Structure 1
Amino acid sequence: MVRLLYFAWVREAIGKDGETVDPPAEVVDVAGLVAWLAGRGGGYAEAFAEPARLRAAVDQAFAPLDTSIAGAVEIALFPPVTGG
């Protein structure tokens, strides 16, 4: 089981700020997780339609989409952060 946190337009599209999931064994990295989530349809498909637009943090450390999720406790998914 892994805790997912959603921020900004990802949260808005899905309609919640997080959830706990148990991805299938073939989901081994953040990109695979994003694809699996997109397959749920609805707001998930909308939020994860363009994975290149996403950023991730695995256990509170920024991580590229090819980062393994093995043993992860928490994964955050969010759009790129801009300063202002």
Structure 2
Amino acid sequence: MVKILYFAWVRQKVGTPEEEIALPGGLGDVAALIAWLRTRGPGYEAAFENLDLIRVAVDQAHVEFDASIERAEEIAFFPPVTGG
């Protein structure tokens, strides 16, 4: 089981702040996870339609989409953060 967290508008589109999921086999990296999540319904499809607007952290470390998720306990998706 892996805990997946969704923040800000990603959470709004998906419809939940978090979920614990048994991932199917063969999902080796973040990109594969996103592709699988998009198949879970229109909210997920909308949330992940523009990957330029998504950031991800695996076990609380910012990573790129090619990062491994094989031993991940927590994966978080969120929009880019801006400051001023």
Identity rate, percent: 54
**1:52 aligned partner:** 52
Distance 1:22 1:51 in 2: 23
State the 1:42 CA deviation.
1.6
The answer to whether the 8 A contact 2:27-2:70 is kept is no
Structure-to-structure mapping, 1:23-34, within 5 angstroms: 23-34=23-34
The answer to whether the 8 Å contact 1:28/1:69 transfers is yes
CA RMSD of aligned residues (A): 0.9
Q: Is the Cα contact below 8 Å between 1:31 and 1:51 reproduced in 2?
A: no
Q: How many residues align?
A: 84
* Structure 1 runs not aligned, ≥5 long: none
Letter in 2 for 1:46: A
- Structure 1 stretches of 4+ with a deviation exceeding 3 A read none
Match of 1:35 in 2: 35
TM-score (norm: length of structure 1): 0.94
The answer on 1:3 being equivalent to 2:18 is: no
